Structure formats: C-alpha cells, structure tokens
A and B are shown apart, each in its own frame.
Chain A
Amino acid sequence: MSSYARSPVSATRPLGDAGDFNSDIRLSVEQVSYAYSANPAQAPLFTLEATSFQARPGEIVAILGPNACGKSTLLKLIAGALDPLSGRVLLNGFVTHALPHRTRGQRIAMVQQESPLLFPSRAWEFVLQGRHAYGRTLRFETEEDILIARNALAQVGAEHLSDRWMDQISGGEKQRVILARALAQQPLLLLLDEPTLHLDIGAQVDLLETLRRLASANRYTVVVVTHELNLAGQYADQVALFQKGKCLRVGTPAKVFQRELLEQVFQTSLTVELGSSGRPRVNMPSAK
C-alpha cells in the first residue's frame, strides 16, 4: 500500500535522535503522563502517571482497567489529541501531537462512541468521510477514494449496508460502518475506545476476530481500550493493566493476568486459568 511509503515531511523529528529508530517498533509510548483540571484555578483532578509501552505492526494492544482509570485519556494521548504533561508518543519516530491535522488523519484512526448524527447520511457517505484527510481543499472524491471506501466496507463485511441510512441500521451494523470509515483512512494506527460496549457477545467476538484479521493482513497496530477481560485475554498480543491512572503491568496476557493483581484492580474475587493456546481465561466465582 502506497500510504506506508509516504512520510510526513513536516512532523517533528524525535529529540536527540537523528531519525534512526527501531523500524520494528511502530508505536512507542515513552513515560507519558497527564493531568487535567476542569477549573484552571483548582489543582488537577485527574492524573495519568508515567506510562510506557511499545507496539509493532500487526499487534493488538489492550488497555485494560476498571472505569475511570485513565484508559480513554491514554488513548487520546496516543492519538495526539492531547498534549502529554511529560513524555511523548511516537508513531514511526514522529511525535503524534505535533503532527499536522491532515497527516494525523492519514496515520491514526479512532473508533469511539459516536455523537448523534445531526442530519441523516448514508453509510457510503459516512465511510467516505474517512478519505477527507487525503483530499485537497475544494476537491471532490476521486475514483480511488470510492474504491478504497468500498473496499473498507467489504473488509468489515458491511458492503450490503452501503446504501442504507445510518440512523436506520442496528448498533452492531453501525459499529461496522464506523470501523470501515476508520479503515478508509488507511491508517498505521487503529485506536478503539470501548468498542464492545453495546454489543452482544456474538457481535463482540465478531469484532475482535475482524480486528485480528485486519491487523495481520493490513499490518495495522491496534490499540483497544476495554474492560472486557476475556476478550483482551483471547485476542490481545499485549495487555496494559491500569488502576487509578497508574499502569500496573504491561506484557502478554498470560503475564498480566495474575489472580492477585486482577483481584486488586477489579476489587472482586476471580480465578484465572490458562487455556490450551497459552491464553488465560478469567472466571467469576460461582454465585453463593
């Protein structure tokens, strides 16, 4: 794909590093921390403490933790939407926050809870929005754009939804179209914020299977924020476990899913068993 060969000319070079980065690592989160306060006069309310991890092309990283532990904030930092208080996020050696908007739109795709649509649009229109970052001002979509959009819909198995109105399809179908839009951006990095929230178990599995397939076929780096332990355990190559803004452990699911650690984080008794594939499964205790 030609997009991988394009390098953004105006992005910042990494500090103290003349462009010689480890080509195997695509995403590098280096000691990133964040604090924000609703009121500038008050002390910062929420903190994300210094966090580091790395990810390669084709990997799925799960950011795991209970609610309000800083997962979404970390995702926004990775996306370059927020400026970290300390540390930096590098995508192929470039600081994400410093990327110009257009370039960011070509490299990083975000799938999150959607704002309600103001005026109805069709699915193909929606997916074509993903091509926006590739267009010049005042231009109309090209044949190439249409092809990429159609391809994206096909990759998520939603081609039949192409002409449907967005407000008339089911939640799961909408999720697929939103993912297709992200794919149409032809990104290097695919970020998803709690994508399985409103999906039933079948749709959840379906989504994660699709993500794994896409990650390896298109060499995306996928970062998923979730609190679904078993989905993360089954599909993620790396898991970062968070509690109250602090990253407790990063590693393969087997390494991170330690019973005492999980019980401490989720405040409930759990059991962990290793499956035949080496992946852990977390179980609730039986009801008394």
Chain B
Amino acid sequence: MPARKDARRNIAGVRAVAALLLCGAACWCPTLRAQTPAASPAAPPVYKDFVDEVGRTVRIPQPVQRIISLSPSLTETIYALGLQDRLVGDTDYCDYPPEAQKKPKVGGAINPSLEQIVALRPDLVLVTKLNRLETVNALAVLGIPSYATDPHTVQEIVSSTERLADVLGVPEAGATLGADLERHLAVLRQRLTGSVPRRVLFIVWPDPLISVGKNTFIADALRLAGASSIVDSSQDWPQMSLEEVVRLQPDFLVFAESHDSGQNDFDVLAERPGWRGLDAVRNRRFAVISEAVNRPAPRIVSAIEDLARQLHPEAFSAHPDDDKEKKNPSPAQPQLSFRSMDSSSGDPALLETCSCAH
C-alpha cells in the first residue's frame, strides 16, 4: 500500500507541474502581436497636433487624404466642405446627401466594424458623442487618430465646422462656409427683431413624450428661429409628463419630419388621449421642419429659417423673396443653406463647392 501511495503522489505532482506549464504557455502564447508595419516607401507623413472638442490632443497626419465619418452630421459637413472625395467610409445611417449612401459602409455609429475601418486605411476618423468611448479608445490603440466634435449651440456648430475645415486642410472652404452661415443667421436675427418668441414644444417622440433639454443645440436652434422651448431641463432628452405640458400650454408643437409627411405626425398625435387638452392641438398650430434640425451640421440653418417662417410669417411677408419660399409645412426637399435669401449675397465660388443636386 505505501508504495502505491508514493506512486500516486508522484503522478499527482507531475500532473500539477504539467498543468501549470500548460497554463503558462496558454496565457503567454497568444499574445503574439504583429509588429508595427514598416514605413511606406513614400515620404513619411507630417503630423500636426490638434485639440478636439472633447479636449483630447490628437496627432493627425497631414494632409488628411482618407477620412471615415462615424456620424451622419459629420458626413454632411464633409460634403458641405466639398471634401467628399476624401471620404472613404461612413455609417449605415449617413443618408444625406444621397450620394453619401453610396460610400462604403462600416456599420452603425454605436457598433461599427473595426475590421472594416482598418481595411479602409483611414488617416482620420471623425466621431461625435454618439459614438462609444470603447470604439474611440480601440481606434487609438490600433494607431488610428480620431477627432471628436461636440457642439452645443448653433454658433458652436458653425465654429466647429470651421475648425474641422482647418483640421482637414481646407481652411478657406471652412471660412467661406462659416461666413455664409453667419450671414444667414444675421439676416434671420434682423428679421425677427421685435417678434415675440413663440412658446413651443419640440417633440422628439410622442409616447413616452420626449423633448429636448435646454443645453442642446436643438434648443438653441429653436431660440434662433424665434421660439422658446417650454422645456427647462438640463437633461439632453428629458421625458415630459403630458400634464405638465398641458399646464404650460405651448403655442406651437414642432416636429422634425421623419419618413412620413409631417401632417401625418400631427394627426396621429392629435388622436392620442389627453392631447386634446392642448390649445395648440385644438387649433392645429404645429410646425414641421426638416430632420436636419437633429443633426449638428450646416444644414440646420435652413431648418431654422424654415421654422422661423412657420412661426413668424409676419416677419417675412414684407420681403420680395417671399414668393420664392415654400409655405408648405412639410418641406419635401431640405436644402443646404447655400440657397441665398438675398440674391445679392450669392457667391458663385460657393455655389460651385455645393455638391447638392438641388
């Protein structure tokens, strides 16, 4: 018996050591890492440091030839800056302008395929707060720089566009675009002087009732359109109770157009129980604007103008260009803000860079 016990102990010992060795090997072996790729034979890229809008310092190779956009608003901005030829990939949701839909896709904003991104060999990936921290960090670890934008007001959208143009190496286009947007906004401001802001409820989603908080760029856009959101919350997407809304009695309900026409949105809403308590519903006082208002891109300015027209028709009635504008509450073709309200401010060079087909 004793001899057998010793033999058993030896075998147990050998097994233990073997197991440990196996574990060690398994732990270490697969951490093979590809070595950093050899430098390409062409001239080594020049790097420049930029600070993005969330405060990170990013080293970006200059010039930026291959861009991937992980946000529909940034895709729009790239087209607005005329850089669409450098855009090598975007998300499934980048649908404006329509040509953007033909670009190679890398997945959704929240769950893009890292493999696809890497396969497209970008110099820079553009991100917003819509994208996950993990994605951004993973890109950094893979050696791909990412630049984040995060505007909270319409003014910041303009300056963000200009800064992005700097980063991408086209400061002139950025300045021009910025100036044009500023001009539109200035004209609008002037027209609306003296107008009393309409109290509105911007409806993101009817059930549960979700609106926008005061710190969002959408709230700022409403302000510039001569409206003031009745929602005074610091959350970005606050959920409202219908009772509270009825108590506050907004003058207008504002919708961003979705797939169906805006008329439909309102009618569907008016049928829902409880909404009859709103004067705005009973008197059919609603405005529908382009979904461009949801994206922090240059196109938002035209949505602001459109909303201003619907809320303050009297501020626009004295202007000769009025008959050119549509009074239809559901604009079927949202346009980039290059279409001048005042023909004298038209800029042929700018119209050239506009790639929209309208």
Contact flag (A, B; Cβ within 8 A): yes
- Complex Cα spacing A139 to B7, Å: 13
A residues engaging B (CB < 8 A)? Answer: 136, 138-139
Least CB distance from A163 to B in Å reads: 29
In whole angstroms, what is the CA distance A136 to B15 when docked? 14
Alpha-carbon distance between A138 and B12 when the two chains are bound, in angstroms: 9
Give chain B interface residues in 1-47, CB to chain A under 8 Å. Answer: 8, 12, 15
Chain B residues near A136: list those with CB within 8 A.
8, 12
Q: Which residues of A contact B8 (CB under 8 A)?
A: 136, 139
Chain B residues with CB under 8 Å of A139's CB are: 8
Considering the chains assembled together, what is the distance between the CA atoms of A138 and B9 in angstroms?
Answer: 12
Tell me the minimal C-beta distance from B1 to chain A in angstroms. 8
Residue of A nearest to B9 (CB): A136
User: Lowest 4 A-B CB distances belong to which pairs?
Assistant: A136-B12, A136-B8, A138-B12, A139-B8
The CA of A136 and the CA of B12, in the complex, are separated in Å by 10
Q: List 5 A-B contacts (CB under 8 A).
A: A136-B8, A136-B12, A138-B12, A138-B15, A139-B8
Question: Which residues from A are CB-within-8-Å of B15?
Answer: 138
- Chain B contact residue count (CB 8 A cutoff): 3
Smallest beta-carbon distance B278→chain A, Å:
59
Instruction: Tell me, in angstroms, the Cα distance from A139 to B8 when the chains sit together.
Output: 10
> B residues touching A (Cβ–Cβ < 8 Å)?
8, 12, 15
User: Which residue of B has the minimal Cβ distance to A138?
Assistant: B12
B358 to chain A minimum Cβ distance, whole angstroms, is: 69
Chain A neighbourhood of B12, CB < 8 A: 136, 138
**Residue numbers in B under 8 Å from A138 (CB-CB):** 12, 15
**Minimum CB distance partner of B4 in chain A:** A142
A78 smallest CB distance to B (angstroms): 30
CB distance from B41 to the nearest CB of A (A): 58
CA distance A138 to B15 in the complex (A): 10
CA distance A138 to B16 in the complex (A): 11
CB distance from A179 to the nearest CB of B (A): 28
Quote the shortest CB–CB distance from B9 to chain A (angstroms): 9
**Cβ of A9 to closest chain B Cβ, rounded Å:** 15
B93 CB to closest chain A CB, in angstroms?
Answer: 49
CA–CA, A136 to B6, complex, Å? 13
Kindly state the separation between the CA atoms of A138 and B30 in the bound complex, as whole angstroms: 28
**Nearest opposing residue in chain A for B11, CB measure:** A139
In the assembly, what is the distance between CA of A136 and CA of B7, in Å? Answer: 13
A3 to chain B, nearest CB (A): 12
Please, which residue of chain A has its CB at the minimum distance from the CB of B8? A136
Shortest distance from the beta carbon of B20 to any chain A beta carbon, whole Å: 14
Alpha-carbon separation in the docked complex, A208 to B312 (Å): 101
How many angstroms from the CA of A52 to the CA of B12 in the assembled complex? 45
Q: CA A136 – CA B13 in complex, angstroms?
A: 13
* Shortest distance between the CB of A71 and any CB in chain B (Å): 40
Of chain B, the residue at the smallest CB distance from A2 is: B1
A139 to B12, CA, bound (A): 9
Report the Cα distance A138→B8, complex, angstroms: 11
| CA A88 to CA B12, docked complex, whole Å | 38
